[in-house]
Structure 1
Amino acid sequence: MQLSRRDMLKLVGAGGAALALPGMVNAQSSEKKEVTIAVGGQALIYYLPLSIAALRGFFDDEGLDVNIVDFAGGSRALQAVVGGSADVVSGAFEHTINLQSKGQFYRAFVQQGQAPAIVLAVSKRTMPNYQTPADLKGKKIGVTAPGSSTNMMVSFFLEQHGLKPSDVSFIGVGAGAGAITAMRTGQIDAIANLDPVIGTLLKDDVIEIISDTRTLAETQKVFGGNMPSACLYTSQRFIDANPATTQALANAIVRADKWIQASSLDDIVKTVPESYLLNDVALYKQCLEANRPALSPDGMVAADGPETALNALAAFTPNFDRSKIDIQKIFTNEFAIKANEKYPNA
């Protein structure tokens, strides 16, 4: 006897469909062929697996017609999926927690990054004699935006070293040319940012790195555990209605994750658009090499990752009620597991 998908949902329950169905979807075709993915800053190395999956035809191989819409930032991408103009977001893992705290159930289903890739550095111009984190007291620290992940990373770093966030001044400088200019001209004393901003400032010998979450070791030191970063996430409703489509998306991203880890810097450079290269191929390669440890090797969320992210948000966000969060509903590894079975050596 063959069961219809509606019968399956009745048997497993709508809430558990996302977890029960991935094992069945390999034999199914995708329910939704055309998928719109919203992303905030596609050219960032943080989102490289998304670009590789599109450029290498991995989405096409899964029978998907994917349209990637690039927004100015992650919050805009999130608004697109909540508002219904996009199906899936390529964004930061912690967004799923923030959304659930507001009664909106979204779930990460495949990882692109396994570390935040945020770097904290001091200015060689205004802090040439920096010795310890205590020297940051009273200083101006540039972050992408107040309340952002970069702001959160600095706050954790300060508290680990006996300082309070109120001991410094946080200045929003963005994640582009404005951030570079602010550091070069001495408008800020330290900066928490990502590549290519950090890579550019390093190349120009403007900064000294004091904490680097492009590595797993430093990420675990700062956050107290593994801190997942870029992922694909979507509403639980989308996953329940489109399990085969969700699986196909996960397959393509896992394949891209593995391709990046196995490929040379030259191969990656040849694959991405020229606009990604910052008019400086050597600099882009330098940034790639520095960020490769932060990129996911297999699309899987580390066992302690969701708890680490929840702890970070609860500590950083005023009046955050962690009792509202069901941590098992903010992510699933079921699709990534199936993707790794399909592409064990991709």
Structure 2
Amino acid sequence: MRRFDSSMIRRMTCVLAGSLLCASAALAQQASRPQPIVAWSAKPVQATPWTAPNKPHWKLSDVLAKHAGQRSWQEAIVSDRDFVAKYISMAPGEKTPRQFFADDRVFWFVQSGRMRVSIDGQEPFVATKGFMVQVPYRTSYSIETEGSEPSLRFEVTGAQAIPLYPVDATPAPLDGRKYLKVTYTGRGTYDEVNKPYIDFTKDVVNANGRGGPFVKDDKTFANMIRGAGTPPPPSTNLGHFHIGYGEFWLILEGKIDYLIEGVPFFSAEPGDVVYAPQGRWHRASFGGTGMATRLAINPRPDGMHNFQAPEND
């Protein structure tokens, strides 16, 4: 019969205790995960149509081809109840006026070129390809293209947001509006999530990061979703739909595979924009063989995802 000395007994006790702790931790983690709730959801019988400029898939290559030879141009990509999104090209030396928005953040992704960004309260900085920049409400900012090439950005603003100007700036004419001097108080701030900018290539790709929210407040959510390419799910997996709002994605890296109700399966590449109207089933997955990232944009940080219920529920 094998004898166990006191030190062996202590080691065995520690191993057993560690195993119990691991098992308890795993059970606790499972218990803390939200359990799916089955309910009736009012999905539109007639699928919500795409209304121009919204469409299932905007290819950046098509946008660039349309504006070939132009140095300053704008192309409307998204316009719905919540957001307006555009591709904006500015020629070298071109500069926006100092402006701000009353109640909405503005954010953009630099697709190419160099731009000097000046934001009240921040040191001016140069944003190049891959930078994501955001400005809180009631905070003045301006953008100027540097270098010999145009700068190109994908910019998102609130649907009802119109520019306001500091009193020492000259407002640009706006149809149906008359600019008056007013007074106001307060302005938006930055925090641990909402930062002036990140360099996506340096801070996420080169750091092998997982992404996460870049903009998150009570009515704007721009979330980087990153992962390795995998085979697409079966066509029986419809994904989910949202009630009351659409969702769109800017592809930042790699390939993203999409299945949207009423649209054949397709893949989107960097710079492309994909849009799913409210109430339509949609599914996004990481395509290709490398890493892929999409910036998911919608107005609800905790928006409800209506997934398929199991057949026996």
**Same fold, TM exceeding 0.5?**
no
- Which structure has greater strand proportion? 2
Question: Which protein has greater RCO, CA pairs closer than 8 Å, 6+ apart?
Answer: 1
TM norm structure 2: 0.25
- Name which one, 1 or 2, has greater alpha-carbon Rg: 2
TM norm structure 1: 0.24
